[in-house]
Amino acid sequence: MNKSKLVVLLFVTFNMSAANAVDHSAHGGGSSGSSSPITCEKPHLSKFLPVKLALVAPNSEFSFRVTNISNPDQITATVKNIPVEIVADFKDPFYAVTAKLPDSLRNTVARINIKVSGKSSHCEAEDGWLVKISE
**pLDDT tens track for 29-42:** 444 444 556 677 88
Query: Measuring CA to CA, which residue among 50, 56, 58, 65 is closest to residue 116?
Result: 65
Whole-number average pLDDT of the chain: 81
DSSP element (H, E) containing 37: none
Asked if 37 and 29 count as a contact pair (C-beta separation under 8 A), the reply is: yes
- With contact defined as beta carbons under 8 Å apart, do 45 and 127 qualify? yes
pLDDT at 21 exceeding the cut of 80:
no
Give the per-residue pLDDT at 30: 42
Q: Is the pLDDT of residue 129 over 60?
A: yes
User: For residue 4, what pLDDT is reported?
Assistant: 58
Give the per-residue pLDDT at 3: 56
The residue type of 43 is P
Could you tell me the end-to-end alpha-carbon distance of the chain, in angstroms, rounded to an integer? 73
**DSSP, residue by residue, 46-114:** EEEESPTT-EE-TT-EEEEEEES-S-GGGEEEEETTEEE-EEEEEETTEEEEEEE--TT--SEEEEEEE
- Average pLDDT of span 119-133: 90
pTM of the model: 0.69
More confident residue, 95 or 21: 95
Sheet holding 61-67, edge to edge: 44-49, 61-67, 94-100, 86-91
Domains and CATH numbers, the chain: 1-39 (no CATH), 44-133 (2.60.40.10)
